[in-house]
Amino acid sequence: MRTRTLIGLATLALCTGAQAQKSTADGIAEYRKMLEDGNPAELFEAKGEALWSQKRGPKNASLEKCDLGQGPGVVKGAFVTLPRYFPDTQRVQDLESRLVTCMATLQGFDAAEIAKTPFGRGEMANVTALATWIAASSRGMRFNLPQGNAAERESYEVGKRAFFYRGGTHDFSCASCHGEEGKRIRLQDLPNLTKNPGDGIGFAAWPAYRVSNGQMWSMQLRLNDCFRQQRFPYPGFGSEVTIALATYMGVNAKGAESIAPAIKR
Amino acid sequence: MKKLRLLAGGTLAAALLAGCATGPSPAEMDAKANQLIKSSFRDQGIAKTDRLAQDLGQSACSSDKAPDDATADKIMAEALFTVKWPAGGQFIGDWRTGERLAQDGRGMTWTDNSTDPKSNGGNCYNCHQIDKKEISYGTIGPSLWNYGKNRGITDPAAPATAPIVQYTWVKLWNSKAYSACSNMPRFGHKGLLDEQQLRDIMALLLDPKSPVNQ
Amino acid sequence: MQTRREMLARSATVAGLLAAAGFLPTSALAAWPQAAFDAKTLADAVKALGGSAPVESKDVSITGPDIAENGAVVPLGCATTLPGVKRLLLLVEKNPNVLAAVFNVTDAIETNLSTRTKMGQSSNVFAVAMMGDGKVLYAAKEIKVTLGGCGG
Amino acid sequence: MADPMRIRAQAAGDKTTVRVLMSHEMETGQRKDSAGKVIPAWFIQEVTATHNGKTVLTADWGPSISKNPFLQFVVKGAKAGDKIAITWVDNKGDKRTDEATVS
């Protein structure tokens, strides 16, 4: 009798101990939850929406006739089908490079000049805001990139090779961090991008507001900074490798629900 | 009806075959991808485009398939050959400096100013658990908590511990000596950390007084 | 070309954000409580706002995460169920200047406010209620700030 | 000019929860640029909230409030159709006011 009571007490103590000691993962999950309500990406979304219909540039025109792949002016649903092949430019384009094409053809901006502008500055900041709003317009929709065109299939194949390409001082490739399930850098979970990593994860989460520096990060900037951390040289904005990688990740994410713009560490 | 479907299937297969015949072969794709990768990057600060030139270990480990055994053996043998032993046979430095290096993830990016190892960190906690007190650690590599203790190291200078001490040095100097496609950077071989910095990380892992071995 | 802004964004660690030494600029607003925002301790901040010595109270609550993945943004909330509150404050003990926010409340709102603050390192955070009757009550909570990312 | 705020004001019963996001650098004045020069402090110092024109809250902020600040509070008695306006003033004297309708 006495023994049983003692065991009972011991079990109780164990349970309360386990409850009191919240795991690190739970703590981080709680922190992320707290930030979800009130994602500053909304500020960039609002800016992008205003920019879309505003008459700007040398031609004093809006972007309302821009074709993002769903026909002129159609924004909803465009994000989850990009990158794709565009007959007018005869190349596969991602959202940002396509926006620059529209800003050049419709508004008269200098595309090369925009591509050279650092992230967060001048017209590049506007491209990011526009991409944020356009992504948000497909929130809740599922990725379904077209692969019907030979150029789109080739983009995927190039992207796959770029994903596994090792180089730099540290021998890293994209796959060093994103080729396996359930890995982390520090406390950050690393999605496996060689397959569909799930709803709202990886390709389906960017553009995202970065808490660490208070910046809105587009996919181009996300890839740019991955290459920086990989100790690679500098990838050009809208370069073949960045678009091919987006095609590879986007096709792999087929069926994943987009939550972009997300909020990230 | 059944015949019709078969016919349709045949046409589709023929079309697919034709498509395959005109598309690039995997080898052509490889060449094209390599060329597109190279043309997509430019120099920025200390990060020059020569970083895209691959040695055997990099090129053979650049796909979702592991290299064949002969290639892997060659990579490992060449890697082992590159290892330089520390001056005076002194393997162990200061674990406190080692811990600082392990915490530091900086160095060699285009926003860093110098390629001098003195300006680099070891990046260790990005991928490994080391001191248990640090809760923010990565899991790409195995846990290194109790690294020395688990291997029975009570005196890293004792002759009996030499195999483990040397193994650890080789792993840090050129990880590819033991695993052809290891994810771990080649800290000594690529000049990411100097001899003294490597000694300090050795101490973090092997010194019985290091918090790692408590 | 690398811009100053890019450089900053990338090189600034959270510790750097809040590096010690430094001073607050003169206010553009006459009413902004400069002395309180210069204070280094909870007691000094409250004193600069004309309050008495703060007393810990379970009637005041502070909400925040146990662990912050990033010190640049730490969600904090302060609340009390007591009537007669004049001001609610949020403070971070180990920041170079402890006071983060002063909320001058009215009867038209609930005494329950949330915002987000920077934290240079793991630290106690405080919610303070300055009452109409001169009492100053507070609650404390410890928040751990972790190191994240690739560290570069 | 500063970018607009995002204000969401949602009524539930006789209470309205107001969530505000402001676009601001919130520079602490304690960081240095790559050349080692201190970046001057630039942050929102005062925030005022009104309900149908009547002030319900004022706040004084220091530079340790996060970049692109977030503020949440609950207004008693506000109902759908009412106006909630937020004004901020920063240490350079810049100011911005935005208004939202309670839904």
Which tens digit of pLDDT belongs to each residue from B22-43?
678 999 999 999 999 999 999 9
Identify the bridge partners of residue B46 per DSSP, sorted by sequence position.
none
Residue B4 confidence (pLDDT): 42
D40–chain C nearest CA distance, Å: 8
Rounded Cα–Cα distance for residues C138 and C128 (Å): 4
Rounded Cα–Cα distance for residues D84 and D103 (Å): 11
Top-confidence residue, A265 or C40: C40
- From the list C114, C125, C139, the residue with the least C-alpha distance to C60 is C139
- D72 — contact with chain A (CB < 8 Å)? yes
Top-confidence residue, B25 or A108: A108
Per mean pLDDT, which range of A111-115, A172-176, C27-31, C63-67 is the poorest?
C27-31
- What DSSP string runs through B50-114? GGG---HHHHHTSSSSPPPHHHHHHHHHHHHHH--PPGGG-----HHHHHHHHH----SSTT-S-
Say which residues have a Cβ less than 8 Å from residue D16's Cβ, sequence separation at least 6.
Answer: D9, D10, D74, D75, D78, D79, D82, D84, D102
**Count: domains in chain A:** 1
Enumerate the residues of chain C whose CB falls inside 8 A of the CB of residue A265.
Answer: 69-70, 148-149
In the predicted structure, residue A130 carries a pLDDT above the cut 50: yes
In the predicted structure, residue A3 carries a pLDDT above the cut 80: no
Per mean pLDDT, which range of A26-30, A111-115, A199-203 is the poorest?
A26-30
Each residue's pLDDT tens digit, B45-88: 999 999 999 999 999 999 999 999 999 999 999 999 999 999 99
Rounded Cα–Cα distance for residues A199 and A94 (Å): 20
String of b and e for B52-85 (b: at least 16 CB within 10 Å)? bebeebbbbbbbeeebeeebbebbbebbeeebee
Q: Amino acid identity, residue C98?
A: V
Other CB atoms within 10 Å distance of the CB of residue A187: 22
Each residue's pLDDT tens digit, B103-137: 999 999 999 999 999 999 999 999 999 999 999 99
**Where does the pLDDT of residue C7 fall: very low under 50, low under 70, confident under 90, or very high at 90 and above?**
very low
- What DSSP string runs through chain A? -HHHHHHHHHHHHHHHHHHHS--HHHHHHHHHHHHHTT-THHHHHHHHHHHHHS-BTTTTB-STT-BSSSSBT--TTTGGG-SEEETTTTEEE-HHHHHHHHHHHTT---HHHHHHSPTTSHHHHHHHHHHHHHHHTTTT-B------SHHHHHHHHHHHHHHH--BTTTTB-HHHHHSSTTEEETTEEE--TTS---TTSGGGT-SEEETTTTEEE-HHHHHHHHHHHTT--EEPTT-HHHHHHHHHHHHHTTTPBP--SEEE-
Greatest alpha-carbon pair distance for chain D in Å reads 55
What residue spans define the domains of chain C? 1-32, 40-147
Rounded Cα–Cα distance for residues A35 and D96 (Å): 24
Residue D33 confidence (pLDDT): 85
Residue B11 confidence (pLDDT): 45
Residue D55 belongs to domain spanning? 6-101
Rounded Cα–Cα distance for residues A30 and C107 (Å): 31
Backbone angles phi, psi at D102, to 5 degrees: -65, 135
Top-confidence residue, C123 or A1: C123
User: Per the domain annotation, does D12 fall within a domain?
Assistant: yes
**Known catalytic membership, residue A226:** yes
Q: What CATH number does residue D95 fall under?
A: 2.60.40.10
Q: Amino acid identity, residue A70?
A: Q
In the predicted structure, residue B200 carries a pLDDT above the cut 70: yes
Considering the segment(s) C40-147 as one domain, its CATH architecture is Sandwich (2.60)
Q: For residues C11-28, give the mean pLDDT.
A: 41
String of b and e for C93-130 (b: at least 16 CB within 10 Å)? bebbbbbbbbbbbbebbbbbbbbbbbbbeebebbbbbb
Residue A245 belongs to domain spanning? 36-264
**Count: domains in chain D:** 1
Rounded Cα–Cα distance for residues B54 and A136 (Å): 40
Q: What CATH number does residue A250 fall under?
A: 1.10.760.10
Residues 185-214 of A with CB under 8 A from D: 209, 214
B178–chain A nearest CA distance, Å: 15
Say which residues have a Cβ less than 8 Å from residue D29's Cβ, sequence separation at least 6.
Answer: C22, C23, C24, C25, D38, D39, D40, D41, D42, D43, D63
Of C8, C20, C32, Cβ closest to residue D60: C32
Rounded Cα–Cα distance for residues C19 and C82 (Å): 37
Enumerate the residues of chain B whose CB falls inside 8 A of the CB of residue C151.
Answer: 103-106, 121, 123, 125-126
Give CA D10 to chain center in angstroms: 17
Residue A25 confidence (pLDDT): 81
In the predicted structure, residue D102 carries a pLDDT above the cut 50: yes
User: Per the domain annotation, does A6 fall within a domain?
Assistant: no
ipTM given for this complex: 0.84
> Percent of chain D scored above 70 by pLDDT?
99
Domains, chain B, with CATH or none: 27-214 (1.10.760.10)
Radius of gyration (C-alpha) of chain B in whole angstroms: 24
CB D44 within 8 A of CB D90: yes
Residue A2 confidence (pLDDT): 40
In the predicted structure, residue D21 carries a pLDDT above the cut 90: yes
Q: For residues A217-239, give the mean pLDDT.
A: 97
Helix (H, G, I), strand (E, B) or coil at C105: strand
**Where does the pLDDT of residue A17 fall: very low under 50, low under 70, confident under 90, or very high at 90 and above?**
very low
- A231 — contact with chain C (CB < 8 Å)? no
Residue B158 confidence (pLDDT): 92
Each residue's pLDDT tens digit, A70-103: 999 999 999 999 999 999 999 999 999 999 999 9
Identify the bridge partners of residue C124 per DSSP, sorted by sequence position.
C142
Give the chain C residue whose CA is nearest to the CA of D65. Answer: C117
Burial class (CB within 10 angstroms; exposed 0-12, middle 13-18, buried 19+) of B16: exposed
Mean pLDDT of chain C: 84
Give the chain C residue whose CA is nearest to the CA of B111. Answer: C7
Burial class (CB within 10 angstroms; exposed 0-12, middle 13-18, buried 19+) of B119: middle
- A125 — contact with chain D (CB < 8 Å)? no
Residue A8 confidence (pLDDT): 40
Say which residues have a Cβ less than 8 Å from residue D52's Cβ, sequence separation at least 6.
Answer: D78, D82, D83
Inter-chain CB proximity D19 and A42 less than 8 Å: no
Mean pLDDT of chain D: 95
Is the bond into A83 cis (omega within 30 degrees of 0)? yes
Rounded Cα–Cα distance for residues A44 and B150 (Å): 52
Helix (H, G, I), strand (E, B) or coil at B207: coil
Residue with tokens 């809760």: B135
Each residue's pLDDT tens digit, C62-111: 999 999 989 999 999 999 999 999 999 999 999 999 999 999 999 999 99
Q: Are strands A234-235 and B41-42 parallel, antiparallel or unpaired?
A: antiparallel
Per mean pLDDT, which range of B154-168, D29-43, D46-60 is the poorest?
D29-43
Enumerate the residues of chain C whose CB falls inside 8 A of the CB of residue B109.
Answer: 152
- From the list A200, A186, A194, A183, the residue with the least C-alpha distance to A257 is A200
